[in-house]
């Protein structure tokens, strides 16, 4: 019995040190050295104050800001500690009602600033992602909102479209995925643009 117990305990202790101490310290050290920004949450700061993360979406509702993709996380949208999707099929009445509600909200936001937008609404503005935390939207989704933001900020649509073009992130390696924009980065760029300046309201 003792001859079997000793090697078992030795292996247990060795694996505990290797997997529970050495490996975590090595991975943390590499992360802090080579990928410090990502390892610390890719936090975004403005004037020394953290306003969000480049990796986690936020729910913007003010007409003067770009809106993010809807989030189905609970108990609130974009809950980073509870990543999840709605898991509703395309024929589920609850999904159909949710999409209709999001369409109505987009039209209401346009109407609030005197804009009539008859363009087709990009699908990522009315459907949630699988994670519920998507920080980016497609270029089509950003351009769809340009008229509303231009009216709310009293600038031309061309200025807003130019800002979208400057902030866009290209496809990975030139062919993987699609071009997109980070919503938080785009909204911060709006606030930085002196000719588009309005009192900050990240609602």
**Into how many domains does the chain fold?**
2
Q: Are residues 27 and 54 in the same domain?
A: no
pLDDT at 200: 47
SS3 annotation, 82-115 = CCCCCCCCCCCHHHHHHHHHHHHHHHHHHHHCCC
pLDDT at 199: 43
Q: Are residues 36 and 72 in the same domain?
A: no
Q: How far apart are CA 183 and CA 54, in angstroms?
A: 9
Q: What's the token pair of residue 63?
A: 């007409």
Total Cβ atoms within 10 A of residue 19: 10
Q: Are residues 20 and 85 in the same domain?
A: no
Q: How far apart are CA 137 and CA 181, in angstroms?
A: 6
Q: Are residues 93 and 169 in the same domain?
A: yes
Q: Are residues 26 and 47 in the same domain?
A: no
Q: Is residue 202 part of a domain?
A: no
pLDDT at 197: 47
Phi, psi of 53 (to 5 degrees): -125, 145
DSSP 18-74: IIIIIHHHHHHHHHHHH-HHHHTT-EEEETTEEEEETTB-----STTS--------S
Q: Are residues 116 and 148 in the same domain?
A: yes
| Cα distances (angstroms) measured from residue 98 to each of 58, 103, 128, 132, 183 | 18, 9, 10, 14, 21
Q: What's the token pair of residue 105?
A: 């909200």
Tens of pLDDT along the chain (203 residues) come to 767 788 888 888 888 988 988 898 888 888 777 766 777 778 888 888 988 899 999 999 999 999 999 999 988 999 988 898 888 888 999 999 999 999 999 999 999 999 999 999 999 999 998 899 999 999 999 999 999 999 999 999 999 999 999 999 888 777 778 899 999 999 999 999 865 544 445 55
Q: Are residues 89 and 7 in the same domain?
A: no
Q: Are residues 31 and 14 in the same domain?
A: yes
Q: How far apart are CA 110 and CA 60, in angstroms?
A: 14
Q: Are residues 20 and 56 in the same domain?
A: no
Range(s) of the domain holding residue 110: 43-196
Q: Is residue 109 part of a domain?
A: yes
What does the angle CA 149 – CA 155 – CA 161 come to, to the nearest 5 degrees?
60
Q: How far apart are CA 43 and CA 49, in angstroms?
A: 10
Q: Are residues 81 and 144 in the same domain?
A: yes
Q: Are residues 97 and 57 in the same domain?
A: yes
Q: Is residue 201 part of a domain?
A: no
- pTM, rounded to two decimals: 0.80
Q: Are residues 166 and 76 in the same domain?
A: yes
Q: Is 121 exposed, middle or buried (0-12, 13-18, 19+ CB in 10 A)?
A: middle
């Amino acid at each position: 019995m003792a001859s079997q117990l000793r090697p078992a305990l030795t292996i247990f202790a060795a694996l505990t040190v290797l997997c529970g101490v050495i490996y975590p310290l090595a991975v943390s050290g590499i992360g802090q050295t080579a990928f410090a920004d990502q390892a610390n949450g890719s936090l975004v700061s403005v004037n020394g104050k953290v306003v969000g993360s480049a990796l986690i979406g936020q729910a913007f509702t003010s007409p003067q800001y770009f809106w993010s993709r809807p989030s189905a996380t609970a108990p609130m949208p974009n809950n980073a500690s509870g990543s999840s999707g709605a898991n509703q099929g395309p024929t589920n009445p609850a999904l159909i009602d949710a999409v209709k509600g999001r369409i109505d909200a987009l039209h209401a936001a346009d109407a609030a600033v005197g804009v009539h937008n008859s363009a087709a609404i990009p699908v990522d503005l009315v459907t949630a992602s699988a994670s519920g935390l998507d920080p980016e939207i497609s270029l089509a989704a950003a351009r769809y909102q340009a008229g509303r933001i231009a009216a709310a900020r009293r600038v031309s649509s061309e200025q807003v479209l130019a800002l979208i073009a400057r902030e866009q992130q290209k496809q990975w390696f030139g062919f993987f995925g699609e071009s997109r924009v980070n919503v938080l980065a785009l909204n911060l760029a709006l606030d930085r643009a002196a000719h588009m300046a309005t009192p900050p309201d990240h609602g």
